[in-house]
């Protein structure tokens, strides 16, 4: 290798970097590493050489190099230079830690985003029935129980090319993202977004672009702007969005489909709330079945420890997920699949899920009414979470903690900085709802209501 990066090579590299911000430089170089244009072992120009050619400050290039080093894409070797290496991903899920690491135990912890255990169906009768069945007879059996696949296909919002079952929604997002996202790819998400998804995309070295929401869902005009620079994937939650509680309307869904139809992006839908969501499901797969992967989770409706989610849609993506799993777990427990299959058609379970859906809607509406009376801005009308506007996140969290109440800070949900907010899992407020909602309103402080909030 040459000890000095030739000036012609510096110019060639600079020509591939249209966005000369630190994030744009990192994304462009990441894409070149992924494509092989910058192979493993290639020496990169010095910070000063590239900064001079790009006409930016050395600090900007240094920040880009730090971002690439954070995902293990480059290796700084002191005076020897900086070299391309195989990306390894960052060391820890930074955003997820921010949500889960609170100051301690609370009498009422509304930071979790999890369902109320008291509203989950009783597994006992179903497990007793499944225990008498003979399930897996061979490691070569189909990964999905045929009866469950038939049942899921009947409920799917569009006809999927392929369908499989994995270990919950995050497992599905991880496996699908690993297929459709490469280092340096531009990926579009909602703003705000689910923190573990953002951590996952950071790990993959993606350039993440956030698209704001209004009360009808992701804004179509902002999505068009985000896709103008090209994107490999768009991730969205079509109903009971976490954290905002917004459900995509049919009218907005049609608008988004028209915008997405002009791109080549794969659409990844995370229907994380499933049957406890009150709103109707609007799927991009209705319009773009060959480019949509739909994920249906049963954790919040039927039980987190089932660890099951269906993944169906674009055949080339779902098949890649299934084939890769053959080299790992192979399949999700067919015993648990049989339990889920029984639960989907078990009348007491169906009624329990329907009761939970009604109860969550009533709890959310009751808290929302008090917040509205006190002039506190919030978004959405569906699911177990509520996105509440506050004057200052830290002060609000401290005020709530003093009352024995936990909530999640808004910052980890943000792709780019935005006004301070908290995510409150109001689905867990099962008593003294008016009093607890009043505590939330008092903790919010006094701030003007933002557009898209009530």
CA distance 355 to 120: 10
Is the dihedral angle over the CA atoms 438, 243, 298, 238 positive or is it negative? positive
Q: Which stretches does DSSP call E strand in 362-451?
A: 378-379, 386-389, 405-406, 408-409, 421-424
pLDDT score of 89: 59
Question: Distance between CA atoms of 134 and 335, rounded to whole angstroms?
Answer: 9
SS3 82: strand
**What SS3 state is found at 167?**
coil
Tabulate helix, strand, coil % of the chain (nearest 5).
45, 15, 40
Domains of the chain: 7-84 (1.10.10.10), 94-118+348-444 (3.90.1150.10), 122-344 (3.40.640.10)
DSSP annotation of 259 reads: H
337 close to 152: Cβ distance less than 8 angstroms? no
Q: In sequence order, what DSSP letters do the residues of 316-371 get, joined into one string?
A: HHHHHHHHHHTTTT-S--HHHHHHHHHHHT-HHHHHHHHHHHHHHHHHHHHHHHHH
Beta strands at 386-389 and 378-379: parallel, antiparallel or unpaired: antiparallel
Cα(220)–Cα(223) distance, integer angstroms: 5
Give the model's pLDDT for residue 96.
74
pLDDT of residue 319: 96
pTM: 0.83
Question: Which two tokens mark 381?
Answer: 């009308």
Residue ranges of E strands in 71-185: 74-76, 82-84, 108-109, 162-166
Helix (H, G, I), strand (E, B) or coil at 74: strand
Here the tokens at position 144 are: 């999905």
Report the chain's terminal Cα–Cα distance, integer Å: 61
Cis check: omega of the bond before 192, within 30 degrees of 0:
yes
Walk along the chain (454 residues) and give the pLDDT tens digit of each residue.
Answer: 344 456 667 888 888 898 899 888 988 888 888 778 888 888 888 888 899 989 999 999 988 888 888 777 888 877 778 888 866 655 567 777 777 665 557 889 999 999 999 999 998 888 888 876 656 556 667 889 999 999 999 999 999 999 999 999 999 999 999 999 988 899 999 999 999 999 999 888 899 999 999 999 999 999 999 999 899 999 999 999 999 999 999 999 999 999 999 999 999 999 999 999 999 999 999 999 999 999 999 999 999 988 999 999 999 999 999 999 988 888 899 889 999 999 999 999 999 999 999 999 999 999 999 999 999 999 999 999 999 999 999 999 999 999 999 999 999 999 998 999 999 999 999 999 999 999 999 999 976 555 555 6
- Sort 417 into a burial class: Cβ within 10 Å, 0-12 / 13-18 / 19+: exposed
Residue 381 and residue 247 in contact, taking contact as beta carbons nearer than 8 Å: yes
Q: What are the phi and psi torsion angles at 262 (to 5°)?
A: -90, 0
């Amino acid at each position: 290798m040459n000890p000095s990066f030739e000036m012609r090579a510096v110019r060639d590299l600079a020509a591939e970097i249209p966005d000369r911000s630190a994030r744009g430089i990192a994304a462009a170089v990441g894409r070149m590493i992924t494509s092989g244009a910058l192979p493993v072992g290639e020496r990169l120009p010095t910070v000063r050489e590239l900064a001079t050619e790009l006409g930016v400050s050395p600090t900007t290039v240094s920040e880009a190099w730090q971002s690439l080093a954070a995902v293990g894409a480059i290796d700084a070797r002191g005076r020897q230079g900086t070299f391309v290496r195989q990306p390894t991903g960052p060391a820890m899920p930074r955003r997820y830690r921010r949500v889960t690491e609170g100051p301690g135990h609370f009498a009422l912890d509304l930071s979790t985003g999890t369902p109320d255990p008291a509203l989950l169906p009783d597994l006992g009768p179903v497990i007793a029935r499944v225990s008498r069945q003979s399930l897996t007879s061979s490691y070569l059996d189909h990964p999905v129980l045929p009866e469950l696949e038939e049942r899921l296909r009947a409920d799917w919002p569009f006809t999927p090319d392929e369908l499989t079952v994995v270990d919950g929604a995050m497992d599905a997002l991880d496996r699908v993202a690993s297929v459709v996202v490469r280092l340096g790819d531009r990926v579009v998400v909602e703003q705000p977004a689910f923190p573990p998804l953002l951590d996952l995309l950071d790990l993959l070295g993606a350039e993440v672009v956030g698209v704001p929401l209004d009360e009808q869902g992701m804004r179509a005009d902002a999505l068009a702007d985000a896709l103008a620079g090209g994107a490999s994937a768009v991730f969205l939650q079509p109903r009971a969005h976490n954290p905002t509680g917004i459900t995509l309307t049919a009218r907005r869904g049609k608008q988004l489909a028209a915008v997405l139809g002009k791109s080549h992006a794969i659409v990844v839908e995370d229907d994380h709330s499933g049957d406890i969501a009150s709103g109707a499901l609007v799927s991009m797969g209705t319009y773009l079945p060959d480019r949509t992967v739909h994920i249906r989770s049963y954790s919040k409706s039927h039980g987190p420890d089932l660890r099951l989610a269906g993944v169906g849609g674009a055949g080339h993506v779902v098949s890649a997920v299934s084939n890769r799993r053959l080299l790992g777990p192979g399949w999700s427990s067919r015993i648990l699949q049989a339990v889920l299959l029984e639960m989907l058609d078990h009348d007491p379970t169906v009624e329990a899920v329907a009761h939970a859906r009604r109860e969550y809607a009533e709890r959310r509406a009751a808290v929302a009414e008090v917040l509205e009376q006190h002039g506190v801005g919030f978004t959405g009308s569906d699911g177990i979470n509520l996105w509440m506007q506050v004057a200052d996140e830290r002060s609000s969290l401290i005020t709530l903690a003093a009352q024995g109440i936990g909530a999640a800070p808004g910052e980890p949900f943000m792709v780019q900085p935005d006004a301070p907010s908290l995510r409150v899992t109001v689905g867990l407020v099962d008593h003294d709802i008016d009093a607890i909602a009043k505590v939330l309103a008092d903790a919010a402080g006094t701030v003007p209501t933002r557009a898209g909030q009530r």
